Structure 1
Amino acid sequence: MRICRLRLLIFIAAWLACPAQAADVLRVLAWPGYADPDIVKVFEQRHKVSVQVTVVSSDENLWDRVSANKGADFDVFAVNTAELKRYQDASLVVPLTLANIPNIATQQPRFRDRQAIPNIARGSDVYAVPYTYSEMGIIYDRQQVKSPPDSISALWDPQYKGRVLAFDTGGHNFSIAALSLGRANPFQLDEAGYKDATAHLVALRRNVLTFYSLPEESVQLFRDHKVALLFANYGTQQVQQLKKAGADIGYVIPKEGALAWLDCWTVTRGAKNRALAEAWIDYMLEKPVGQALVERQGLANTVDTSPSADRSNKIIWLEPVEDPNRRSSIWARIISGDRLVALDKP
């Protein structure tokens, strides 16, 4: 009798555990501010699932996480259009079933023209849905910089030595170095371009206070170290955060133009439940979610119009670069302080 009772108790315990084990878990890889807890909670309650959010801090970090296990560690992630090609080429993402994302009908027309947005579609297959965007301008402290800087080269100005913040990434930094040097295409560097940009980035390393990764980190450093200039990788998101922190700042688009990113949601090849991942993308396009993105993060959404979107003559939309691995490798050696002669070749 005791054995039967014990077996019954084990059966009941296992049966009670089944719902928790069987419940779907959506694994989301996102940038700061893209998936706030209260936003996530609504989705969890609506779909009776659990959402695990992991935050990334750079394109390199994103690539490492998604590619580490051939896309099997995450279901859905946010990536800019220039980087998306890399994931498509590596077969790490899959075409979307647009019927599962009806809210695309509420997007602005230019974001519904998926054939016109580089890397979103391949043939009739659509791999991503635009979510948010910003240009990467320069933030400056009005108390220290009386005249707004008009060039990206201000980051190299020796009068601001030790009072400049830049973003810790090889991809964008080689591009802004190329812009500063007057290169026509900052996304495609030849050998001479690599040599010049590398030397220029070594000079940048010597001029900056440090390199940041997350927007909140940049705000803290800006305030604690009386930073004069900040390269705003997160764009208007950092502008809003600094203003909320009480900083007296200005924001400019340099005369060379500003790099700009368009982040999209896409689904990994290793997604456990593709329909659920697409339901997440659809949810991200709902009005309350988009409004929260604007109000909390200072970022534009793809449903409402944004005044920052139409500086078209100053915006340089990101494009795939000639060799992201080489840029990352050389950048890692630059910030580690390796001698310049060791950086001429990957």
Structure 2
Amino acid sequence: MKPTENLLSPKLSRRKALVYGAATALSTPFVSRAWAAPTEINMLAWYGHGEPDIVAEFEAANNVKFKPKYYAGGDNMLGLIAQSPPGTYDVILSDGEFVQQLNAAGYIEELEAADYPFDDMLYEDFTKFPGHWADGKLYSMMVRFGHLGVSYNKNAITAEEAMSYSCFWKPEVKGKVGHLTGTFPASA
């Protein structure tokens, strides 16, 4: 087409119109989805799980934006969900022991098990983690796992005894045991 030709002029041939139309139609799938506004995902989670250092890479790769609402403690989480209209949260990050309660209350939906990498689990036990499944249906997926370590006084407990949690109940250490779970210390 010459620079002086008008696309809408009667001189535009049928052939050129078809070529331009086909080129436009074929280029549509290649328009970057980055031009589209990100999909917002409302997430109810423990503090920090929606911060940029945790979610930024996922957000960029999937054109989504997490809108976190944080809670401290499973009871607070259950209260927030109970007081919210259905559909308020797209994702709930919960401790495993609360999944059964969420399911029993009808707050969560069944997940499609085929969508998750069960062949890539650290331990075989995690593929059918109790509470995440009900009647053979998946309702929750484990996203992280950690071991609780034991620090001990070598003068009170041997290395062999420290290999079992039963060392916490030795009469010699009664009143001298501490335990850190998450950020909440407990002593006994």
Whether TM-score is above 0.5 comes out as: yes
Distance 1:45 1:129 in 2: 22
- Most deviating of 44-53 and 85-94: 44-53
Contact 2:156 2:172 (C-alpha < 8 Å) held by counterparts = no
Q: 1:123 and 2:135 equivalent?
A: yes
The one-letter amino acid paired with 1:121 is W
Distance 1:111 1:138, change over 3 A: closer
Q: 1:28 and 2:43 equivalent?
A: yes
Partner of 1:104: 118
Q: 1:232 and 2:180 equivalent?
A: yes
Distance 1:231 1:104, change over 3 A: same
Deviation, 1:134, is 4.4
TM-score scaled by structure 1?
0.34
- Report Cα offsets for 1:57-76 as digits up to 9, x if no partner: 21111111222215532111
The one-letter amino acid paired with 1:150 is F
- Report Cα offsets for 1:210-239 as digits up to 9, x if no partner: xxxxxxxxxxxxxxxxxx8653222xx789
Contact 2:45 2:69 (C-alpha < 8 Å) held by counterparts = yes
Partner of 1:62: 77
TM-score scaled by structure 2?
0.58
User: Could you say what secondary structure the match of 1:232 adopts?
Assistant: strand
Unaligned runs of 5+ in 2: 1-35, 158-166
Deviation, 1:80, is 2.4
Unaligned runs of 5+ in 1: 1-18, 158-227, 240-253, 255-346
Superposed counterparts of 1:249-268, under 5 Å: none
Of structures 1 and 2, the one scoring higher in RCO (CA 8 A, sep 6+) is: 1
Superposed counterparts of 1:68-107, under 5 Å: 68-101=83-116, 103-107=117-121
Same amino acid, percent of matched pairs: 16
Distance 1:40 1:50 in 2: 9
Q: In the comparison of the two structures, how many residue pairs are matched? A: 141
RMSD: 3.7
Q: 1:132 and 2:147 equivalent?
A: no
Select the structure that is richer in helix: 1
Q: 1:150 and 2:168 equivalent?
A: yes
Distance 1:93 1:105 in 2: 24
- Report Cα offsets for 1:88-144 as digits up to 9, x if no partner: 11100000023333x3331132212x2xx322212232101122344667778x7xx
Superposed counterparts of 1:186-205, under 5 Å: none
Contact 1:139 1:230 (C-alpha < 8 Å) held by counterparts = no
Partner of 2:19: none
- Bigger radius of gyration among the two: 2
